[in-house]
Chain A
Amino acid sequence: MATTPETYIKPKPEAEGGATAPAAKTEAAPGIERHDVKAVNAKDERTLYAERIAIHPKRARGLFRNLKWLVMGLTLGFYYLMPWVRWDRGPALPDQMFLIDFANQRLFFGPLEIWAQEFYYITGLLVLGALLMFLVTALAGRVWCGYSCPQTVWTDLFIAVERFIQGDRNARLRLQKAPWTFDKIWKISATHAIWLLISLLTGGALIFYFRDAPTLAQELFTGTAPYIAYVFLGVFTASTYLLGGLAREQVCIYMCPWPRIQGAMFDDHSMLVSYRGYRGEPRGPHKKNESWEGRGDCVDCKQCVVVCPMGIDIRDGAQLECIQCALCIDACNEIMDKLGRPRNLIAYDTFHNLKAAETGGSAPVQYIRARTILYSALLVAVLAVMTYGWMNRSELQLNVLRDRNPVFVRLSDGGIRNGYTVKILNKRHDTRSFKFSVEGLPADISAPKIDVVGFKENDPTIKVVPDNLRALRVYLSLSKADVAKLKSEATDLTFVATDLGDNSQTRRRTNFRSPEN
């Protein structure tokens, strides 16, 4: 090998000491490499059909890179390990902390147990998630995209694997151009093999959320897992490999709707990853010992472009492709440190402040504004509703559906009968017995006759087995004399189911229909 990577990255100056002009093609400033690279969405690259331009992100070092490693560690750690966390719920119930049990239409998360008909809790969580994303976007732009979106996290992981095997950007570029030697074949296939392995683990971890993980893992290896488990394992393995390994930034640019929606979320006061043009321009190569007066701090080294996983140039301004991962901030700060210039030529900033800075002023960040107040208020409201709903969630659900056809039945003695379908949902894990009663009728009316179809009149004790729903036909009859006392065609009343075990009562309002008096 004629050149080692080190000499390629940092060509040694020809002579020591004295003002050396930066080699125009390879150096932006003495000791600062200049990259021959173009933004993938640069003006003159545009045609009717866009060829995909390969992006080889360089490794960045700094605060935001470390933050991204941390988020990656936490999110992937949670994702892969969660199905293995156990939670004792006693016999006959799964002991997996987080389990989506389709067979029994139940979702378990620690002490929580959500039934299929309570899916609104999940809907509520999704609404909360969306509102939280709105708020964060209004405050600091695409934080979700830049740090915690699975697409970003897995792509980051896959790039890290690529870098580990094939080397950093320059080495990868060389490898790409190199002939198919054993070394290249080995490195490329090892990269893809590890990608596939990660994808397989990812797909595997996903299906563990739907079935007891240790059991399913064993079944998977012995070939006895349900057919559908293998199908989803295959689907998620393929999609992880395809989206994270191969498609990468194309997903964000062309497939994901969220970048489009976010345009409506942030405004002039949102903290966005921005190039401070007022400080950076006019940009250009900087000679050693040259004065920084009358020129910008940007030495046009394009470090910000090469570290960008989206392959764009942040200096072109805010753009759809930018996922706001802030790696360009790290890259630029490293250069500014080397040049001895102040950091944060690229930084989180607001349009508002950037505009003010152009004329030498500055504008403080307005975190509290109509948009953030609205998002926060909605967030709090939804959270309150959900908390209220959860606190008042009962382990017994009583639904009463009054017959509409016929609305009421006239009996031969002149009395009136209403029919109801009553559903009792027992969410407890033991059998419960109930008796029905009715309250809320006018005081001068004697209690209606209650007939539960299929039960004896003298002992209408209704048993509901654990975790089950029982539907019953119930008839309420009022005598002719009582019907005559009713004031309206629809009289409110309340069904009461009394648990014979602990005497707890569950109520449900309905009404009794009768002909006009």
Chain B
Amino acid sequence: MADNKRVDEVTGVETTGHVWDDDLEELNKPLPKWWLWVMYVSIIWSIGYWILYPAWPLASDYTKGMLGYSQRAVVAEQVAAGKAAQAKFVDAIQKAELSSIPDNPELLSFAIAGGNAAFKENCAPCHGRGAQGFKGYPNLNDDDWIWGGDLAAIKQTITHGIRNADEDSRQSDMPKFGKEELLEKAQINDAAEYVLSLSGSGSDAAAAERGKEVFAENCAACHGEDGKGNPELGAPNLTDSIWLYGGTKQDVVTSINTGRGGVMPAWNTRLSEATIKELAVYVHSLGGGQ
């Protein structure tokens, strides 16, 4: 192949044979010797590196190196150091009265940051990363709270959950008015119209008028005479603009038919007391806290 190489006339140097833009060629210049030595030194360096540091993969293991260095160990150390640095705050939050945390700017910002992280890990799958909720999973940013929106109520809900096996879990059981045939179809329709009219969105005033009686007999016990609900019982306010299961007539009819009854796990089995406090502070800070 060597005889195919062109020799540049001006410099008398062989070219690499590459040509660009018709006449731009590359001379095959010799490498300086010191550059070669730098490469040899690099090779020697790398051998030293193999001996001192983890280098070669083996079938089920790898060469560990004499210094015993491991990135995993370094990360573990850093995590431990981070935890140690946080311990002071975590400890303080653990001990602090929940209601006093917002008054301590240092604890508050730590709790919000920690709560944010814990929320993304544990709560986001149902409530969404921005706590915006989905149909059936409440939006935690708004000012509507089924089980109460002050710090203590939020913490209680997180700790024990809703409608689960935990003895202290939030319990409410709306009857399945349709499924269990407690009400006639027409009555359900009328009740739905009445409920919608409470927030000014109904369309059939006559049905709503008839539904008023159905509501008073069947629903008012929990949702209140005025339909404003009762956080003690977990009965949602039916007069506002926020609908956990949707605010169309179809949605409301389905709610009356099935009683809905979403659940939330009790987090005291998975999260520490301090983390739950952080979560409560975080959720409370989202804009709707009472």
Give residues in A with beta carbon < 8 Å to B: 43-44, 46-52, 250, 253-254, 317, 403-406, 409-414, 417, 419, 451, 453-454, 473, 475, 480
Contacts and interface: CB of A to CB of B under 8 A. Distances in A.
Given A403-B130, A405-B129, A48 B30 contact: yes
Nearest to B242: A412
B173 interface: no
Given A254-B35, A417-B287, A411 B241 contact: yes
A414 B32 CA distance: 77
Given A406-B141, A473-B285, A475-B287, A454 B33 contact: no
B15 interface: no
Given A410-B142, A412-B237, A50 B33 contact: yes
B132 A49 contact: no
Q: Which 3 A-B pairs have the closest CB atoms?
A: A405-B130, A406-B132, A412-B240
A49 B36 contact: yes
A273 B241 CA distance: 82
A70 to B, nearest CB: 33
Nearest to A43: B12
A44 B13 CA distance: 9
A254 B237 CA distance: 78
Central interface residue in B35, B102, B128, by most chain A CB within 10 Å = B35
B62 interface: no
A404 B129 CA distance: 11
A406 B32 CA distance: 62
A52 B32 CA distance: 7
Contacts of B13: 43, 46
B62 to A, nearest CB: 31
Contacts of B242: 410-412
Nearest to B108: A454
B127 to A, nearest CB: 11
Contacts of B143: 411-412
24 contacts: A43-B12, A44-B12, A46-B12, A47-B30, A48-B31, A49-B31, A50-B30, A50-B33, A253-B32, A404-B130, A405-B130, A409-B132, A409-B139, A411-B142, A411-B241, A411-B242, A411-B288, A412-B237, A413-B241, A414-B199, A414-B240, A417-B141, A453-B285, A453-B287
B68 interface: no
Central interface residue in B10, B32, B102, by most chain A CB within 10 Å = B32
Contacts of A419: 141, 287
Contact of B34 (A250, A411, A412, A453): A250
A49 B285 CA distance: 70
A411 B290 CA distance: 13
Interface string B12-30: 1100000000000000011
Contacts of A317: 10
A51 B31 CA distance: 9
Contacts of A253: 32
B30 A409 contact: no
Nearest to B200: A414
Nearest to B14: A46
A420 to B, nearest CB: 11
Contacts of A250: 32, 34
Interface of B: 10-13, 29-36, 102, 105, 108, 128-132, 139, 141-144, 199, 237, 240-242, 285, 287-288
A417 B287 CA distance: 9
Contacts of A414: 199, 240-241
A419 to B, nearest CB: 6
B212 to A, nearest CB: 22
B240 A413 contact: yes
Contacts of B129: 405
Contacts of A49: 30-33, 36
A42 B253 CA distance: 96
A50 B30 CA distance: 6
A403 B128 CA distance: 14
B11 A43 contact: yes
Contact of B241 (A48, A51, A410, A451): A410
A282 B139 CA distance: 92
Given A43-B13, A406-B132, A419-B141, 9 more contacts: A46-B29, A49-B30, A253-B32, A409-B139, A410-B139, A414-B199, A417-B142, A451-B287, A475-B287
A412 B105 contact: no
B30 A46 contact: yes
Contacts of B130: 403-406
A342 B132 CA distance: 87
A214 to B, nearest CB: 35
A318 to B, nearest CB: 11
Nearest to B13: A46
Contact of A409 (B34, B105, B199, B287): B287
Nearest to B142: A409
A453 B282 CA distance: 12
A317 B32 CA distance: 22
A414 B288 CA distance: 14
Contacts of A417: 141-142, 287
B287 A405 contact: no
A42 B32 CA distance: 15
Contacts of B142: 409-412, 417
A503 to B, nearest CB: 28
Nearest to A319: B11
Contacts of A480: 241
Nearest to A453: B285
A47 B14 CA distance: 11
A478 to B, nearest CB: 13
Contacts of A473: 285
A403 B34 CA distance: 58
A451 B32 CA distance: 69
Nearest to A480: B241
Nearest to B35: A254
Central interface residue in B102, B129, B130, B285, by most chain A CB within 10 Å = B130
A512 B181 CA distance: 46
Contacts of A451: 287
A94 B29 CA distance: 52
Contact of A405 (B34, B102, B132, B288): B132
A516 to B, nearest CB: 15
A405 B10 CA distance: 67
Contacts of B10: 317
A51 B129 CA distance: 64
Contacts of A409: 132, 139, 141-142, 287-288
Contact of B33 (A43, A44, A51): A51
Nearest to A403: B130
Contacts of B102: 454
